[in-house]
Structure 1
Amino acid sequence: MKHFCLLLSFLFLPFFARAQEAIALNPVDTSPGDTLKKITLLFAGDLMQHQAQINAARLPNGGFDYSECFKYVKEEISKADIVIGNLEVTLAGPPYTGYPSFGSPDEYLFA
């Protein structure tokens, strides 16, 4: 078995050496240039609501306003180019409930 592994090593060694030579002959310019762009990503998980949050966002006219709920994180979220959040609620219309159904008003998406 030892001799077999040694034989395989000698057979495949030239292929690996040639691959390294090809890479060296075609260098890639990795210096930053004018075309280099930067984007910032922000990921948030488990955006959910309990009944107390739904009640706190309820307006006298029957609508909902969640701006107060997100006021402490709004600035940080606004800094990112792309924000992805894991929405852990359903948007199926009334009745709006917390645990265990987590049925939320559509206005929650626009907060």
Structure 2
Amino acid sequence: MSFMYPLVLTLIFELTAAYVIGVRRMYSFLIIFLVNCLTNPLLTIGISLLPAEINMRQLIIYGIYEPAVILSEFLIYRYDLNEDIPPFRLSLFLNLTSVIGGILWQSIF
């Protein structure tokens, strides 16, 4: 599985969503970019390690992996971002945007 394809899609979705909800500092965009360059490949590896035939695959991805990503990104944003948007809300919104965007992207293409 290529790591670049999901990473590029995630960056497009999340950086656009960050701008839409009011993130304006270039440093904040850089942090969002770097955080996703760390967490997205880890998520992609975790997903690729799951057997395709596992019945609970989607539950594991959306019930365990995504909340772990949201929590880890929140902790980084809380430490390093200086935006008016609460860090947990930012992490949750950006990740929901990329998950929903990814699902829509896969269903269209």
TM bin, normalised by shorter chain, reads under 0.3
> Does 1 or 2 have the higher relative contact order (CA < 8 Å, sep 6+)?
2
Alignment TM-score, normalising by the size of structure 2: 0.25
- Select the structure of larger CA radius of gyration: 1
Which has the larger strand fraction? 1
